[in-house]
Each structure stands twice: as structure tokens, then as C-alpha cells.
Structure 1
Amino acid sequence: MRRWHKFALAGVVAAPLALGAAAKALGLYWNISPSIPLGLYRATSELVRVGSYVLLCLPQGGVFEQAYRRGYLGVGVCPGGAGYVMKRVMAAHGDHVELDDDGVRVNGQPLPDSAPVRFDGAGRLMPHLQATSATLAPDQVLLMSDRFALSFDARYFGPTSRRQIKTVIRPVFTY
């Protein structure tokens, strides 16, 4: 191989790695999931509250392991090898949450397009939660998509511990 070919190949390999490292150092994350608006997000030091977009690692095991094996979760740096997930906080401490086959309600108000689907895009049976009605504890949040009815979110796994959240993220550029 010619010398300049080696340099070109090294550049093709190194450039994305360098760009990714720089983005991480700046607290930037690119979202390609339809669960929240597509685009570039920045990590913040804001407190988690209802309406916030958050970056998190889902717990390992159970329904989350199945989701990873099925490809609902990407590959990444979270425990077990899954990638970060980005969702919107739809309920937090003190909110009353009801989850059933008809969908999700927060403080009695139904969330649009929140009914769980029975099968995924490959025809496999989706995880099914037993009907739940509870007031969220101080360490719990309800994480969902408010824009994608097929999102893998709380309608399949229920409330999530705040400890799973890495940071609140803010859109920089979305489309």
C-alpha cells in the first residue's frame, strides 16, 4: 500500500473517533431515535423534572435484557453493553400513574398514543406489564416518548429509578 493511502486510511478511521471523543468531552449527544426529536443534545446540570429530556442507562436483566437482545436498545457504554437511552420525564414524585392495556394516565389525564402495542415490528410479542396504579416515590420517574407510539418506554417497564438517569439534556439542534 502506498504511503499516502495509509495516511488517508488512518484519517478515515481517526476522524470519527476524534469527533466522537470531542463531542463527549463537550457533553454533546446525537439522538437518532424517534422517541424524542432527532438531533443534537447537550448535557446540563439542570434538575430532573416533569418535561425534561434525560439521558440514562436502563437497568440490566429482565425486560431490559430482552429489549437489548431484540435490538430495541443500541450498543454502547451502559452496563451490559447497551447504549444510552433518551426519554422525556412524564411524571415524578407525587404524581399518580396508571398503566394498563388502554395506555398511561398521569394524575388521571391520559397520555396520547400511550397504549402498549401487542407485537413489535418483527411480529414478536412485546413485554406486558400487569395493570399498575401507584403514586411515584421520591426516587421514581416515568420515562416515555411523547411523540412515538412504538417507543420502548414505561408502558413496558413501568416507573424507573432516578439513579438510572445520567443527565438532563437540552436540544441544541433538532429536526
Structure 2
Amino acid sequence: MRRRRMLLFPAGAAVVMSIVAATAFTGGYRLNLTPSEPLGLWRIEELERPVAIGDLVFLCPPTTAVFAEAWRRGYLRRGLCAGGFAPLIKTVAALAGQRVDITDHVLVDGRLVPASSVWRTDGEGRAINPDPGGVVPPHHLFLHSRFASSYDSRYFGPVPDSGLLGLARPVFTFNP
């Protein structure tokens, strides 16, 4: 009898934790474990207006060879977006119709994007091919993160706005 109670406690705790996790997930809560934005608990907030420059957003990356390679290299986490990727948390730096120039930094319509140095190799010494830039196509967003080695549109280019999940709002976060 005592052994049975000892087994029921961890099983019950696992069930309760699963219910809490499922409820949080359906409520739009996500755990960020990448350094691009502060670590911790975030919430996806419905966007009730057109997306704007400066918005911090959650976005599911498209299922393309570029993102498959990024996952293989460890730049992306596994998650519940199409293709098995986790959503990205990034700032919108340019909208459709804006010109993006990428050299050693990023310029949007001729204005320097702060903290936008472009790397040519990753931390493992592997070559990174920056996106060539150009005009952001219709229904696409150019995303940026101020974190120096963040994987963002500097490297993968504009992404379809159809992957936009909503605004990213910190709930309980910290910078390591």
C-alpha cells in the first residue's frame, strides 16, 4: 500500500504539470530558451491592428531549405510550427515595399538599423551567407534582433507575414 502511494504521487504530479502546461500553451504562453530576447515566459498577444516597425512579434518560420539547414546547424529550436520549428521572437525592422541593404550592417530605406552587424561565419567557423537585401516583397516582414549573433532576416531574408502569431509580451523574463 505504501509503495502504491509513493508511485501515485509522482504520477499525479506529472498529470497536474501536464494540465498546467497544456492550459498555458493554449493560452498563448511560450517559454523562450534562446538568447535573442530575454529568457523566460512570454505570451503571444493577438495583433488587432496592422503590424508596424518596432513590433516585437512571434512568427513561425516557413518550411524552406534555409530553415531546415538553420535547424541542422542549431540556430533554431524544435517546436510546434509547421516544419517542426519553434516560433521566432524578433522585432519587425522593415515592411513590404521598404528597401533593405545588407553590407557589414543593415540599412532600411538608407537608415542604419542599430546593432545590425553582419557576421560571415558562425561560432563554429562555418560560413554564413547573408541575405543580399532588396525590396521587401508584399506580405513579407524583415525581422531583426539586437542580440549580436541572432539568426534573423540578415541571414534568411524577409519572411511571409502569414506566419505571424502575434505580439510577443514578456511575462516573467530575465537576462542571463
Q: TM-score range by the shorter chain?
A: 0.7 to 0.9
What is residue 37 of structure 2 aligned with on the other side? 36
Secondary structure in 2 matching 1:6 = helix
Partner of 2:70: 67
Secondary structure of the residue aligned to 1:2 is helix
RMSD: 2.0
Alpha-carbon shift at residue 57 of structure 1 (Å): 1.3
User: What per-residue deviation string (whole Å, max 9, x for no partner) do you get for residues 61-109 of structure 1?
Assistant: 2211101112211111112212111111111133221123x12111211
Figure out how many residues of one structure are paired with residues of the other and give that number: 171
Mapped to 1, the partners of 2:23 and 2:163 lie a distance apart of 24
Query: For the residues of structure 2 that align with 1:60 and 1:8, how far apart are their CA atoms?
Result: 41
8 Å contact 1:87–1:143 — kept in the other structure? yes
Q: TM-score, normalised to structure 1's length?
A: 0.86
Candidates 119, 122, 142, aligned match of 2:121: 119
- AA at the equivalent of 1:145: S
- Counterpart for residue 153 of structure 1: 152
Instruction: Provide runs of 4+ in structure 1 moved above 4 Å.
Output: none
Task: State which of 79, 94, 97 in structure 2 corresponds to 1:76.
Answer: 79
TM-score (norm 2): 0.85
Counterpart amino acid of 1:52? D
The alpha-carbon deviation at position 60 of structure 1 amounts to: 1.4
Worse overlay, 83-92 or 24-33: 24-33
Note the residue ranges of structure 2 that are not aligned, 5 or more in a row. none
5+ long unaligned stretches in structure 1? none
Question: How far apart, CA to CA, are the structure 1 residues paired with 2:77 and 2:59?
Answer: 13
Q: Which residue of 2 aligns with 1:144?
A: 144
Structure 2 CA distance for partners of 1:170 and 1:7, relative to 1, 3 Å: same
Structure 1: distance between partners of 2:131 and 2:57:
26
State the identity as a percent: 39
Contact 2:120 2:130 in 1 (8 A): no
Q: Distance in 1 between matches of 2:45 and 2:85?
A: 22
Q: How far off is 1:12 after superposition?
A: 4.5
